[in-house]
Structure formats: C-alpha cells, structure tokens
Amino acid sequence: MDTATGLEEAYRATGRRVTRQRRIVLRALEESDGHLDAEALHDRARVHDPDVSLATVYRTLAVLKEMGLVEEHRLGEEHSHYEPVRDEPHYHFTCRHCGRVIEFETPLVERIRKELSDKKGVSVLAAHLHVSGYCSDCRGAEEAVDDEA
C-alpha cells in the first residue's frame, strides 16, 4: 500500500483533515533512507515548504504514531527517530562511535514471541530489539584507542 494514500484514507476515516503540510511531512519521511529525528525531518519538509514549523512536524508525527503509520525509536540517543511502519519486522544496531544505524532481520524475535505466547499465554503485539556496539568502520578505530590506553 502507498503510505501517502494510506495516510489520507486513515485521516479521513478518523475525521481528521488531510493538510498540505501533513502530506509534506510524510513525503519527507518517506523519501528518507534513514531514521530521522524531528529536527532533520523539519529540515527536509522545509525544502518543500519553508513555512512548515517544527511544532507542525511534532504534531504530525504524534498523530501518525497514534494512527500506527509511523514508528518512534530511541536509538541510543537523547531524542527519538522516526520511520514509516513496514509490513516486515526489523531491528536496529546503532554504532556507539559514529551513530550509524543498521537495520537487520532475525527469526529469533519471532521464536521468542511464539515461546512467550505458548508458555505464558500472552499476546505479543510488538517487539523492539536495539543492539549497540561499533560498526565495522569504527571497530578498528575503537580497538586502536583501547590498545593505546
């Protein structure tokens, strides 16, 4: 499903008005190839409309999150990062040195979800896995610093 179309349909279904600025924020989010924080999303939205305010970005993200169209992640930083919801589950690795975020998939989380359901009778609605360490580019630099100490 096209997320922009889904946004418009979801807004209409909940009685919300689909504004030009909301479309711009979602487009900026969709066009990103990474995980944007609100300020970076604001910068990208302003390319399309310089009048989009940071407050509009935060309000739009809150509504999109409430509607289940956007996920909010804390990736080892003090602020949140946002990305459109995807059909397939994925997880995140964040480099502690450069901040690079690497997405990955693993069947282990699904096995844990199933085991919890089978053994404890729970219904898992969402699972988040965040792993941190040093990416391949930074790992060598960190090891060199550790060797000097």
Position 2 scores a pLDDT of 47
Q: What is the rounded average pLDDT of the residues 87-111? A: 83
Share of the chain above pLDDT 70, in %: 83
Domain regions of the chain by residue span: 1-84, 88-149
pLDDT at res. 149: 52
- Look up residue 35 and give its two tokens: 């995980």
Q: 1-84 is classed in which CATH architecture?
A: Orthogonal Bundle (1.10)
Q: Give domain 88-149's CATH superfamily.
A: Ferric-uptake regulator, C-terminal dimerisarion domain (3.30.1490.190)
pLDDT band at 1 (very low <50, low <70, confident <90, very high): very low
pTM of the model: 0.64
State the CB neighbour count (10 A cutoff) for residue 137: 11
pLDDT at 143: 60
Q: Is the pLDDT of residue 5 over 90?
A: no
Q: Is the pLDDT of residue 4 over 60?
A: no
For the segment 48-94, what is each residue's pLDDT rounded down to a tens digit? 999 999 999 999 889 888 887 777 877 666 667 777 777 777 788 88
What are all long-range contacts of 78-81, with beta carbons under 8 Å and residues at least 24 apart? Answer: 79/37, 79/38, 79/39, 80/37, 80/38, 81/35, 81/36, 81/37
